Amino acid sequence: MDKIIIFDTTLRDGEQVPGCKLNTNEKIELALELESLGVDVIEAGFPISSPGDFSSVMEISKSITNATVCALSRAVEKDIDVAGQALKYAKRPRIHTGIGTSDFHIKSKFNSNREDILARAMQCIKWARKYTDDIEFYAEDAGRTDNEYLAKVVEAVIKAGATTVNIPDTTGYCLPHQYGEKIAFLKNNVSNIDKAVISCHCHNDLGLATANSISGIINGARQIECTINGLGERAGNTSLEEVVMIIKQHKNLGFYTNIDATKLYPLSRLVSDTMRMPVQPNKAIVGSNAFSHSSGIHQDGFLKNTLTYEIINPEEVGADSSRIVLTARSGRSALAYRFQKLGYEFNRNDVDILYDRFLKIADHKKEIEDEDLSEIAEAYQQKTVSYSK
């Protein structure tokens, strides 16, 4: 089994989301929770961006004992210096520095050329080595970078001392097979690739961030950059809980992570509350509907054997137990089950009669709650409603 390094960027890429900004105390609290979740690397912030972020990275560095603490910088000496200073107290400091390598970035952003960018990439790694030996290089917009040129840059930065090479699909453009082929190309065409870890950093603009990251590790990457609840610029980053559970569910892929999955759901809620960013109800793994069953066919199968409609036991990810939700699409077995949970023992004939009454009410309500069920049951027992059967 190969270990996949989990690099969490909730506090950096995730915090870039409008409305998600955190103060230093909030960042420290989340960093400690991330450490106890088992993440290997915590990207704590972008120290040059503001004095507040500088002190957040510094305080997180003091608080974290086991995980590597990482600070982002551009390929600019001043940025790298500030990142290095912010990491002064980190037990395991990592500087994450880099530059755009696609022609979009080289021409539009830097008004430059490939040779110049290559030289700047090497220079920033050499500069960062003044502060730590753990240096990660990012080739921004690698997803749209020509593979031959990307391979040249990657080879050069590894030679200059980069120990991790991050291949971001910054715009979320790649299809899973294309992203996988890119990683495979680097594995096969960069002579010193065995001296560095390849990292996936995928954005979700087309909803492919998780699929692309998995394709990346299948093709040779060994680090995934991700965030809790998939937070991040625009449509977000790869979601930590998704990649961790994919790796756990599909053991035949041959990977494992250090993550304690039972902490995923509570941490998802803590991040959502602290960042004031709700989790979409149908979000995989941590959405409020991820373990809810509402249609009659599904409920009947689930009540006979949970595995018919659930591949993950909610307890495995620290979520509340599965829910049988009652709507106008629900069936008799679900209704009987919910009555039973409330302490009402009805026979088949009773349930048939009550089901008609239930449907009449359910057609006018989105969801039938316990109080509605009690009312239906009491009215039936006291014969205060007339029934067609």
Give the footprint of ligand KIV on this chain (CB under 6 A). Answer: 13, 138, 140, 166, 168, 170, 201, 203
Specify burial of residue 31 (Cβ count, 10 A radius: 0-12, 13-18, 19+): buried
Q: Which residues pair with 256 in a beta bridge?
A: 3
SS3 assignment, position 120: helix
> 13-32: which residues touch Zn ion (CB under 5 A)?
13
Q: With CB under 5 A as the contact rule, which of the stretches 11-19, 191-199, 269-277, 306-314 interacts with Zn ion?
A: 11-19
SS3 assignment, position 352: helix
Least CB distance to Zn ion at residue 358 (A): 49
Residue 97 or 330 having the CB closest to ligand KIV: 97
Least CB distance to Zn ion at residue 134 (A): 20
Least CB distance to Zn ion at residue 90 (A): 21
Which partner in ligand KIV, Zn ion, none is near 144 (CB below 5 to 8 A by kind)? none
Residue 180 or 236 having the CB closest to Zn ion: 236
Least CB distance to ligand KIV at residue 116 (A): 19
The dihedral sign for the CA sequence 343, 348, 349, 355: positive
Which partner in Zn ion, ligand KIV, none is near 140 (CB below 5 to 8 A by kind)? ligand KIV
Least CB distance to ligand KIV at residue 96 (A): 7
What is the token pair recorded at 94?
């990592």
Residue 21 or 323 having the CB closest to ligand KIV: 21
Least CB distance to ligand KIV at residue 16 (A): 8
Least CB distance to Zn ion at residue 224 (A): 13
CA 55 – CA 61 distance, rounded (Å)? 10
Which partner in Zn ion, ligand KIV, none is near 166 (CB below 5 to 8 A by kind)? ligand KIV
Least CB distance to ligand KIV at residue 339 (A): 51
Q: Which long-range contacts link 344-347 to residues 24+ away (Cβ below 8 Å)?
A: 344/377, 346/377
Q: Which residue is nearest to Zn ion (CB)?
A: 13
CA 101 – CA 168 distance, rounded (Å)? 10
Q: What are phi and psi of 312, to 5 degrees?
A: -125, 135
CA 228 – CA 272 distance, rounded (Å)? 9
Residue 13 or 242 having the CB closest to Zn ion: 13
Which partner in ligand KIV, Zn ion, none is near 155 (CB below 5 to 8 A by kind)? none
Residue 141 or 241 having the CB closest to ligand KIV: 141
Alpha helices in 175-329 (DSSP H): 176-189, 209-218, 240-249, 264-275, 296-304
Residue 229 or 330 having the CB closest to ligand KIV: 229
What is the token pair recorded at 50?
């503001």
Asked if 140 touches Zn ion (CB under 5 A), the answer is no
Inter-CA distances, 220 with 194, 200, 217, Å: 10, 10, 5
Inter-CA distances, 172 with 19, 95, 109, Å: 22, 24, 18
- Return the closest-CA partner of residue 11 out of 28, 371, 243, 2: 28
Which partner in ligand KIV, Zn ion, none is near 43 (CB below 5 to 8 A by kind)? none
Residues at the interface with Zn ion (CB under 5 A): 13
